[in-house]
Amino acid sequence: MTRSASGARRPDHAHAPAPHTPGHSPGHSPGRRPRPHRPPLRLRDLPGRIAHRLESEVFSGLLMVAAAAVALLWANSPWRESYAAVSSTVIGPHALHLDLTVSAWAADGLLAVFFFVVGLELKQEFVVGSLRDLREAALPMLAAVFGMVGPAAVYVGIQIASGGGELTGWAVPTATDIAFAMAVLSIFGRGMPPAARTFLLTLAVVDDLLAIIVIAVFYSHGFNPLALLGALAVVAVFGLLVRRGITHWYLLIPLGVVAWWLMHSSGVHATIAGVLLGMTVPAKPTRSEPQGMTARLAHLVHPWSAGLALPVFALFAAGVSIIDGGGLGEVLADPVSMGVYLGLPLGKVLGIWGSVVILTRLTRLHLGHGVDSADVLALSAIAGIGFTVSLLIAGLAFGEGPTTDHARAAVILGTLISAVLGAGLLQHRVRQPRRGQPSTRGHVMRPHHEH
């Protein structure tokens, strides 16, 4: 008995060569299956094909890299003035306080779509995912906390040592970009224990939650409590509709836009509205939603996030003019830049890997299911891939100016260092013989008394 491509078992004689018949093509070798016939691509099938490709972590990550590369080349080319002109073009009604630049619309508007997907993923993980049992998720959750403390400490230490004084950027190197990090793990970590992916996903999800709290608490300005109450009321109406199974786009999208506008008017960063809207969606499977509504809505919205929101944001956030900023040497020597491009790789490794080593030795928490501290070292390195949220926080921390450009250039450099370092460590771990005990699927760690 053998298996077909779909995994179904079938008799061995199904593979026996077919006898030659008069109608058999002379160029067809006996026993070889003909290539499956692919129907021609029709225009109406194109959106579905694109959405399917965007579900790939590798493809969506490469799309963001391409957008960032275009932005860097454009911003440092002879046509860099056109980049600055497009980025600073004001669009929107002044009466509603929505006369924003194109770059602000990309950061505050389109990125809300990304944060809505983040909210859906957070709800999914807390209700039915890796965070539903806090005892099981304790180690990666604590590692995520220290994974933000480590980069912040590196950044603040460099500012104090250099006398730079730009302490407002302490949160820039603390974020982890889920899409990039998971893409690097998918490409270079084939052969790692399955629980390594669970560890990194839990780590990144908690990191996202902490980054959202940091943005809401430390980078909100001109607080308007009435507008915030209005935003929360609209979010509650949105949540009531989805809990009753009412998911018509012509109802939910206008409510989402109003919630976003009110949140923007409140002084709290507008993307927080996307997170709150996503968190109201039910996650538990039901008869009408076998996979849970969060999974279905994430599947519907993810192509817009990965294919539009994130690449456009990267296009207008990563366009740092190094030529006009004094050259690469000045960027690298700036204490703000040093705090970011060293904080991302070094701070994440010290915070995540260091905390896991200490916690597993001094507490009852324990790594298991084939994951060991060397694996965590590789995972902590790729957790230094900050990109999306780090670029956002850089703009919030420093506003517009050369300091922001230097910080954003450092985010790109720190992300590149983390990606290369993480990829090298992953490849090293994959080439090593696996530990004596076979890896099993399940949670990353358990208290000692359960082993």
Residues found in the chain: 451
When the candidates are 2.60.40.420, 3.40.50.720, 1.20.1530.10, 1.10.260.40, the CATH number that belongs to 56-103+130-220+308-431 is 1.20.1530.10
- Average pLDDT score over residue span 328-339: 86
Please give the share of the chain, as a percent, with pLDDT higher than 70. Answer: 84
Give the tokens for residue 61: 């990550």
DSSP per residue over 136-177, as a string?
HHHHHHHHHHHHHHHHHHHHHHHHHHHT---GGGTTGGG---
Alpha carbon distances (Å) from 416 to 158, 184, 412 = 20, 11, 6
- Residue ranges per structural domain of the chain: 56-103+130-220+308-431
Give the tokens for residue 253: 């999208």
Q: Are 355 and 142 in contact (CB under 8 A)?
A: yes
Lowest mean pLDDT among 40-49, 112-121, 442-451: 442-451
At residue 45, the pLDDT reads: 63
Say how far apart CA 109 and CA 107 lie, in whole Å. Answer: 6
Give the tokens for residue 258: 């109003």
- Average pLDDT score over residue span 280-300: 88
Q: Is 450 a residue whose pLDDT tops 80?
A: no
Flag whether the pTM goes above 0.95. Answer: no
Question: How confident is the model over 222-238, as pLDDT tens digits?
Answer: 778 899 999 999 999 99
Give the tokens for residue 60: 């969506």
